[in-house]
Each structure stands twice: as C-alpha cells, then as structure tokens.
Amino acid sequence: MILEADIKAQLNQYLQLLENDVLLKISAGSDKLSNDMLALMDELSTMSSKIKVENTTLQRTPSFSVNRPGEDTGIAFAGLPFGHEFTSFVLALLQVGGRAPKVDQSIIDRVKAIKGEYHFETYVSLSCHNCPDVVQALNAMSVLNPGISHTMIDGAAFKEEVESKDILAVPTVFLNGEPFGSGRMTLEDILAKMGNGPDASELADKEPYDVLVVGGGPAGASAAIYAARKGIRTGIVAERFGGQILDTLGIENFIGTKYTEGPKLAASLEEHVKEYDVDIMSSQRAARLEKKDLIEVELENGAVLKSKTVILSTGARWRNVNVPGEAEFKNKGVAYCPHCDGPLFAGKDVAVIGGGNSGVEAAIDLAGIVKHVTVIEFSSELKADSVLQERLNSLPNATVIKNAQTKEITGTDKVNGLTYIDRETGEEHHIELQGVFVQIGLVPNTEWLADTLERTRMGEIVVDNRGATTIPGVFAAGDCTNSPYKQIIISMGSGANAALGAFDYLIRN
Ligand SMILES: Cc1cc2nc3c(=O)[nH]c(=O)nc-3n(C[C@H](O)[C@H](O)[C@H](O)COP(=O)(O)OP(=O)(O)OC[C@H]3O[C@@H](n4cnc5c(N)ncnc54)[C@H](O)[C@@H]3O)c2cc1C
C-alpha cells in the first residue's frame, strides 16, 4: 500500500466528489519510482470506479497525465506528487473530474479568452510550500483552456534535468521551453505576466472608497475586515495577498492556535476578508500616493484609485547584502527561503549570511540537508537566542565565522564561492560553496512613498497611537511602521487599530 491509512481515508472522501470519469495515463519504467507510481495508480483505481488507468509514453518517465476520457487536458505530474504536492494532485483529479476550480468568474473568463499554445513546466521540491500555489494555478488554467498545458516536475526525481537547466530555486517555471518566472505566483500573477492582467481602465473606473487598504498581509487583512464591518466602502489592493506569512512554515505564537503554517493562515485570511463586502485587487502594486480632495493611490499600471482614507500596510521584504554577485546569482545559488530552496542544495556546501534568529534557524534546517553550512556573522557575536546557538554548535556539519564582512558572492553561471574580509585582521578569505542563503533581516516596503509622509531613518512610517501618519486621512499598520516589534499578531492588532482610527476620522471630517 503506497498511501498511508489516514491519507487514504481523506482521499476516499474527495473521490466521492468526482462527477465524471478521469483517465490517468502513466509512463513508467522498471525503476523504484516507476513502481511506486504504478502502485499509486493501482490503489487509486481500486478506490473509485471513475478512475481509469492506461499505459502510455510521455516526455518524462516516470510521469502521468490526468485527462478526461477522449480529451487530454495537458496536466501532467513527473515524479510522485507527494508531500506538499499531494493537494495539487487531488485538486487536479477533482477539476478534471468535473468540479469547477475555485476561482473568480472574471479570472475564469480571462483564462478562457487566452488564444495560442502555452506549455508550462514547473520544477518543484516536495517540501516547498510555495510550489503548490503555482502548480495548482497552472493546472486550473490547463483545465479551463485547451491551449494551455502544464507539467509539474519533482526536481529530486529529475536531478539531471534540474542540473542541466541550472535550477537552484523552486518553484521555477518555464513557458514553451523558456524561463518564465520563479517564486510563488498566483493565477492572477501568472495572467498579469502573460499580459492578460486587468487593464488600468478597469481599475480606474472604480468609485472612491471610504477606506482603501494598501497591502494584503496580516495587517491589511485585519484593517479591511474591521473597516468593512463598519459598513463603509472598503477596498484592498495588494501585490501578494498573504504577505510574509506565505514564506513562513510553522507558526506557533499565533495566540489561540497552537500550530499553523503560513500559507494555510494566508488562505484563511483571504477567505475571512472575502466574507465581507471588500473590493479585493490582487497582483497590483501601488506606486504613488497624493492627498488632494480625496487621497489618490496610483498603481504601477497607471490606474488611480481614490479614497477618503487610506491604510498603508505594505509590510517588509528580505534585506539584500548588496555585494557583487548577489543580484547576478539570484536563483542561481543565491537564495532567501531555506524551506523552499534548501532541498536543491542536498549534499552541497552552503553559507548563511546573518547570525540572528532567522539566520541560525536557517543554518540548523539546512544542516539536515546539505553537506556543510557556514554561518557568516558580521559582528563579534551571534545575535540569535542562546537555545538556537547551542543547537547550532552541537551540529557536526556547521561552522560559524564571526567578524566576517561579505565582500562578494562569486561564480560563473552559478555560485561557486563567497569572499569575506576578516574585520579583525583585514585579511580576505574565499570559501568554495554552491549556495548562499541571505538572512540579514527585513526592510520596509515604503520607498514608493518617498517624502510624502514622515518615515524613520530605516524607512518605517511614523504613526501615532491611532495608526495616523503625518498626512491627515492616511493611516498605517504592521511591519511597514515604526512599531518596535514585528509579529503577525502585532500586525493584525495594529491593522484593527488603524481601521478604527480611520473610521473615527471619517466621522469627524
Ligand atoms: C520567514 C519568516 C518567519 C516568520 N515567522 C513568524 C512567526 O512565527 N510568528 C510571527 O508572529 N511572525 C512571524 N514572522 C513575521 C510576520 O510574518 C510579519 O510580522 C507579518 O507578516 C507582518 O504583516 P504585515 O501585514 O505588516 O506585512 P507583510 O506580511 O509584509 O504584508 C505586506 C503586504 O503588502 C503588499 N505590498 C507591499 N508593497 C506593496 C505595494 N507597493 N503595493 C501593493 N501592495 C504591496 C505585500 O504584497 C503584502 O500583501 C515571520 C516572518 C518571516 C519572513
């Protein structure tokens, strides 16, 4: 039996939802993975009479495609879709079996209207929590449009292919054989990248809002819910709904929930916001803010949204080390997400730049996968909590170099080393390695506001105890503000506070 009993029980329930037959075409050899894939197919066909299996030859072996009888959908899985991809597999079965993808009608219409042939390939690792979003979005597009096809490729099962394409970050997507993008992408992001996003005129025709929230992380979601519950016209514009929690695995300090995972929390934030009458505009970046009679927020696509009040909750992003090689080798050995990209460095030598909590946590995680991990710390001591330092020091394949200033990340077509200066002696050293994880903290996403309002030296928006900024009617919340602590629960609290502040302002003005 390839499926564990509890997974099988869950899957049994989902398979009851199949409305039509599903034909799985399998391309298998005699290797262990092929045998496991055949066993999975056998097991599935005994679980539902609607699932049929036949042998075929596909571009990759082992792989299988998920089809309607008599019509190939173009959805294929190369390698076993276990781990985080199991849900992608179940959704593919259900959608091919007649259940409509859970996507807004306007997006469905845009996908169906795409003309031409588009073959996507997504390289994943089964432990990557950002990969399923991309796989599921592209599978849904394949279900909706016969010109679109998609193959998920497990990098661990197709190592040679991954190495020949120099893939060092997942998810990495190719379109018709050419690099298309990497990192988490929603269906809307993919459409926008293909030139099928909502055009500026669609957004520009919007009536003014009472409250317009900019940013869709914990702070923005909370602000939008609090505002909408007052019955006022609320909009939320966000580049990436969910924010940083999409890059977070385990969360153990979200009070009232003993344990959850970032993408799961992000999905429930979106679901909660959708319970209310909130106009959600995803995959859109704000580029400029100006106070006229109303407050105007101009988006990067040129559309201008107007509102009586605005709540800025644009959060923060990974800080770069800004040394030669960092930008050139991004996704070619320079990485920021150890959970996502760590498995691609199995058996290799890597460095983590930064010895704070996130750096040391990353090094501990990576030590379980890679051959050796070196932590590069700028100051004379690590800043991480002592319990983490003790754990790190107990690992046989981890080294810490203190007083080290990274000078350059070296490489040719991908990373081959790191040069640092010993700050005590001034000597330059070079370490040979294949991967560098940058973990030196965060920087607020506020550059686009320039000097329209007061920001600290670090770029954080200065707010008062109601979340008000120095522009009347403009409020701010979460990690983009000068709040001393940056946490999910604190961001949510400050989002609620700013929404109540904005509501008070509307009553008085
Ligand atoms: C790896 C990691 C692990 C963490 N673990 C924990 C933990 O265990 N517990 C905990 O409490 N906290 C944790 N945190 C911190 C927590 O995730 C943040 O404090 C929280 O997400 C901040 O929420 P926010 O809404 O202020 O900002 P963010 O989550 O950063 O959200 C910002 C939002 O604004 C959008 N945006 C940015 N710029 C623009 C623009 N110009 N136009 C439109 N939209 C824009 C973004 O796309 C996003 O939707 C972790 C953070 C990281 C990176």
> Quick one: average pLDDT of 244-259?
86
DSSP 313-361: ---EEEPP---TTTTTTBTTTEES-HHHHGGGGTTSEEEEE--SHHHHH
Give me ligand 1 centre to Cα 83, in Å: 25
What is the per-residue burial (b if ≥16 Cβ within 10 Å, else e) of 342-370? bbbbeebbbbbbbbbbbbbbbbbbbbebb
pLDDT band at residue 7, thresholds of 50, 70 and 90?
confident
Please, what is the average pLDDT of the chain? 93
Atom of ligand 1 nearest to the CA of 220: 25
pLDDT digits (tens, 9 = 90+) for 204-233: 778 999 999 999 999 999 999 999 999 999
Whether the CB of 449 sits within 6 Å of ligand 1: no
Task: Identify whether the C-beta of residue 461 lies closer than 8 Å to the C-beta of residue 469.
Answer: yes
Whether the CB of 286 sits within 6 Å of ligand 1: yes
Q: Is the pLDDT of residue 76 over 80?
A: yes
Beta bridge pairs of residue 27: 63
Alpha-carbon distance of 280 to 234, in angstroms, equals 9
Whether the CB of 248 sits within 6 Å of ligand 1: yes
Whether the CB of 301 sits within 6 Å of ligand 1: no
Pocket test of ligand 1: the residue of 314, 437, 485 to mutate, having most ligand atoms within 8 Å of its CB, is 314
Whether the CB of 445 sits within 6 Å of ligand 1: yes
Whether the CB of 312 sits within 6 Å of ligand 1: no
Whether the CB of 483 sits within 6 Å of ligand 1: no
pLDDT band at residue 6, thresholds of 50, 70 and 90?
confident
Phi then psi for residue 259, to 5 deg, are -150, 135
The pLDDT of residue 484:
86
Residue 386: HSE in the Cβ half-sphere, 13 Å Cα cutoff: 0
The pLDDT of residue 248:
75
pLDDT digits (tens, 9 = 90+) for 169-201: 899 999 999 999 988 888 988 998 898 877 677
> Whose alpha carbon is nearest atom 30 of ligand 1?
315
DSSP helix/strand/coil, 152:
strand
Whether the CB of 240 sits within 6 Å of ligand 1: yes
Whether the CB of 220 sits within 6 Å of ligand 1: yes
Q: Write down the pTM of the prediction.
A: 0.78
Q: What percent of the chain has pLDDT over 70?
A: 99
Whether the CB of 273 sits within 6 Å of ligand 1: no
Whether the CB of 478 sits within 6 Å of ligand 1: yes
Give me ligand 1 centre to Cα 445, in Å: 10
Give me ligand 1 centre to Cα 86, in Å: 27
> Whose alpha carbon is nearest atom 27 of ligand 1?
315
> Whose alpha carbon is nearest atom 21 of ligand 1?
244
* DSSP-assigned letter for residue 474: E
Give me ligand 1 centre to Cα 480, in Å: 9
Give me ligand 1 centre to Cα 15, in Å: 36
Whether the CB of 479 sits within 6 Å of ligand 1: yes
